[in-house]
A and B are shown apart, each in its own frame.
Chain A
Amino acid sequence: MSSWIAGLSWVTPLGSGVDSVWQRLLAGERPPLEKLQSEHSARSYLVHRVPGHASKNLPPHPRLRRASAISRFAAAAGLGAIADAAVTPDVERTAVVFAISNGGVIYTRRFYSEIVKAGAQSASPLLFPETVFNAPASHLAAILGICGASYTVVGDGAVGILALKLADDLLAAGEVDTCLVVAAEEIDSLVCEAYRQWRLLRNARAPESRRGMIVSEGAGAVLLSRNAGGCEIEKIDPGSNFFRRAEATGKLRRTLEGLEVETASFCIGSANGTFVDAAERSALGENVRVYYPKLALGDSIGASVLWQVIIAVQALRTRRLPESVEPVRGSRAIVLACGVNQQIGGLALCCEDEKYRSALS
């Protein structure tokens, strides 16, 4: 059983149109580095933020009135993927599957800050519901009127693979006909401080260094269908967990073998300037052509796998990869994900539909 990508969309620090952001990536553009001020010290963090216009065209909906940035990014990407597929989803036979890592961290910090600083009696009942991991999925389901299955999967930077696997399983079991998979994340200084203390973050005083991650935000969405056509998700390996960083390379290698990396034209990796880089490079070896989008767009953690998938689809469609003049040959690609908190996974995409491929060539 395979799933087919019927539509895709994203909200990124380079904007929100799939094709326009793709052209900017091909042209070697980078989103601006912004400094985000810590709430607790004089420290600042380097981040890539979504420009204000990227999620401005959302239709008015009461659920979005108080929603946090993560829900707005998710709604923009989800609605974009449906528009791209040019379908009206069957509200009972379409599932919503979300991938999230940090979730609604802005409201979570605000809510807990009220408890700590002003006491429990001052904590706002308006904020708390938005801190729940499945709030963005609930808002999007409400906007679309989806009344069937809705799942929010949480994990590290590899969580998108696990969400796509869940969606693929729902389709394979015949429980739904289409599945909207959305991954989203928002930036908050608390997240940056956490990664800094974890020694994963790029030093704001050495921005040109390739060491350390730059946190970014946004969302990615794909509409999966059981109807053949376009780009196929050929195989998903939900992977495994590495208990020590030294184990990551071996487990990535196992995933790559299972996905038959030797027959792929290229791999979209998840290197982000941390220990992940060495693990992935070592697992992939010298013979696989690789593009690392996190080094261009930043690491959007929970949203990153969906960006990787969209980049892989675009590369197969246009036969081009950023940072390279050599055309893409062949029709198979690998998306590899290694999170910073022990999760690993990957998937194989195949695009043999010449009409779909030539649409953007």
Chain B
Amino acid sequence: MNPQPKIARRVAITGAGVVSPLGFGLAETLESLRNGTDCVTPVTAFSVEKTRCKTAGQIPDSRLLEGRQSGRRDRRLHRASYMVIAALDELWSQTDGFKPGVVMVGTTSGGMTFGERFYRTLENGGCSASLIANYPPQKQIVDALEKFGLDAPAQVIANACASGTNAIGHAFSSIRAGQYQRVLAGGYDALSELVFVGFDSLQASTPEKCRPFDARRSGMVLGEGAALLALEELESAQRRGAEILAEIVGYGISTDNHHLTQPNPDGSGPRHAMEQALAGADLTPDQIGYINAHGTATAFNDAAEGKAIQQMFDGVPISSTKSMMGHSLGAAGAIEAIVGLLALQRQLLPPNINFREPDPELRLNIIANEARHAEFDCVLSNSFGFGGTNASIVLRKM
């Protein structure tokens, strides 16, 4: 067996772009985090008459499509492409000379709404080739890359709700091991009826407010968005004079085989991922100053994740920012990595809103309802998904 390669390269974040229910771009996102804004609204994209849950974190089309859709090709683009384009626009404005060798992004449903429209068109005896040509899950990122003249290969990871963190984590590992010098990494997902009804059918989503880690939490609400990070080998970034926003220093991935949709209640899956991320970063749990939890507000997730966190950490401040924007599935890990980045840069602990009553089973230091100031150097961000995929990354202040 070959020895494990010596790993020495450091991985810098040199650009970031985001669009989510919290806002367009880093500045608006930061403002929403500071204010603890509840960005969950009644669903407008499709009928929710027959579902329990009626709300989601949504990105208004009026802003998303502003100044776009000029040509025929543009009109065929999926909403998720517009989200990626908006995130790339912002990232591009910060990065001069960033040319990725590969693109690693996460998604769970890609262009699902086009698939839904295709099916409905068929039901009505119609025909629509362009819907199907733009439906596949890699198409949204490839279309967005075309807008920026990028033809780097797109490795699209579909690891359910952990996809975005897996994409960033794998990008980090690949740069650290010397496979690539620059990677564009992140995630995207747009709200779709099939997925919305799917979570509703499982009674995983709630007709009430999303209250992660609350004793009376009743489920998740869905969200949507896109976020991208420019990741680069640190020395290369410094040589070209790029601004270093933060470092990624650790990544952990584990698979929990307990059940297709439910985590092992002992929290072993999340714990394994967090332990790996810390070990890879050469950090101890007390060096983490903030945990952005997966925190979907489902009974099962929060119990398993909370148990793992309390076993490993002693009073580290925790929040689930899904309470403000909903769960954007494949984009969630990427958006939350940017939340972690902003938290590090501004020394801000983003709030876990709608929190009323601590769960007596969980001894956690929840950042309840209001953002707080703190001094810290490292953030841990968790994402867990269907299929038992668990992923954690660690970001460090530069």
Contacts and interface: CB of A to CB of B under 8 A. Distances in A.
Interface of A: 1, 40-41, 63, 96, 100-101, 103, 108-109, 111-113, 115-116, 119-121, 123-125, 128-135, 137-139, 141-142, 145-156, 159, 162, 165-166, 169-170, 172-175, 177, 190, 193-194, 197-199, 226-227, 238-243, 251, 341-343, 345
B148 to A, nearest CB: 12
Contact of B387 (A101, A132, A159): A132
B119 interface: yes
B152 A151 contact: no
B160 A132 contact: yes
B14 to A, nearest CB: 21
Contacts of B107: 154
B260 A131 contact: no
A199 B129 CA distance: 8
A241 B260 CA distance: 33
B102 interface: yes
A123 B201 contact: yes
B129 A129 contact: no
Given A138-B388, A147-B272, A175 B155 contact: no
Interface in B1-28: 1-5, 7
A189 B139 CA distance: 22
A49 to B, nearest CB: 22
B208 interface: no
A151 B159 contact: yes
A270 to B, nearest CB: 16
A103 B109 CA distance: 11
Size category of the binding interface on chain B: 35 or more
Given A154-B137, A227-B1, A116 B202 contact: no
A175 B173 contact: yes
Interface in B127-170: 127-129, 132-133, 135-139, 142, 145-146, 151-160, 166, 170
A134 B138 contact: no
Contacts of B166: 151
B160 A173 contact: no
Given A115-B193, A345-B153, A173 B5 contact: yes
B376 interface: no
A241 B108 contact: no
Contacts of A109: 119
A240 B255 contact: no
Contacts of A148: 253-255
29 contacts: A40-B122, A40-B125, A96-B255, A103-B158, A108-B115, A120-B47, A120-B50, A120-B51, A120-B197, A123-B200, A124-B201, A133-B158, A134-B386, A135-B260, A147-B257, A150-B255, A151-B170, A153-B158, A155-B138, A155-B154, A156-B136, A165-B155, A169-B177, A172-B179, A190-B122, A193-B122, A197-B129, A240-B151, A241-B142
A243 B77 CA distance: 13
B370 interface: no
Contacts of B193: 115
A40 to B, nearest CB: 5
Most chain B CB within 10 A, of A109, A113, A150, is at A150
Interface in B188-227: 193-194, 197-203
A307 to B, nearest CB: 20
A240 B153 contact: yes
A133 B158 CA distance: 6
B120 interface: yes
A26 B132 CA distance: 36
B61 interface: no
Given A147-B255, A147-B256, A243-B151, A173 B174 contact: yes
A134 B160 contact: yes
A193 B131 CA distance: 12
Nearest to A238: B153
Given A197-B127, A240-B151, A119 B50 contact: yes
Nearest 9 A-B pairs (CB), nearest first? A138-B387, A173-B177, A174-B4, A128-B198, A133-B158, A238-B153, A142-B257, A120-B50, A194-B132
B387 to A, nearest CB: 3
A148 B49 CA distance: 41
Contacts of B98: none
B194 A145 contact: no
Interface in B306-332: none
B159 A150 contact: yes
A148 B154 CA distance: 24
Given A147-B257, A153-B156, A341-B139, A116 B128 contact: no
Contacts of B151: 240-243, 251
A193 B122 CA distance: 9
Given A128-B197, A138-B389, A149-B253, 15 more contacts: A100-B158, A112-B115, A115-B197, A120-B48, A121-B51, A133-B160, A147-B257, A152-B387, A153-B157, A172-B5, A174-B2, A174-B7, A198-B133, A226-B1, A343-B138
Nearest to B153: A238
A120 B154 contact: no
B176 interface: yes
B219 to A, nearest CB: 13
Contacts of A145: 257
A115 B194 contact: yes
A71 to B, nearest CB: 10
Contact of A134 (B125, B142, B385): B385
Given A142-B257, A174-B5, A154 B158 contact: yes
B46 to A, nearest CB: 9
A113 B2 CA distance: 51
Contacts of A165: 153, 155
A341 B257 contact: no
B42 to A, nearest CB: 16
Contacts of A115: 193-194, 197
B66 interface: no
Contact of A116 (B3, B123, B136, B157): B123
Contact of B146 (A112, A120, A132, A243): A243
Given A141-B388, A174-B5, A134 B158 contact: yes
Contacts of A116: 119-120, 123
B110 interface: yes
A226 B4 CA distance: 10
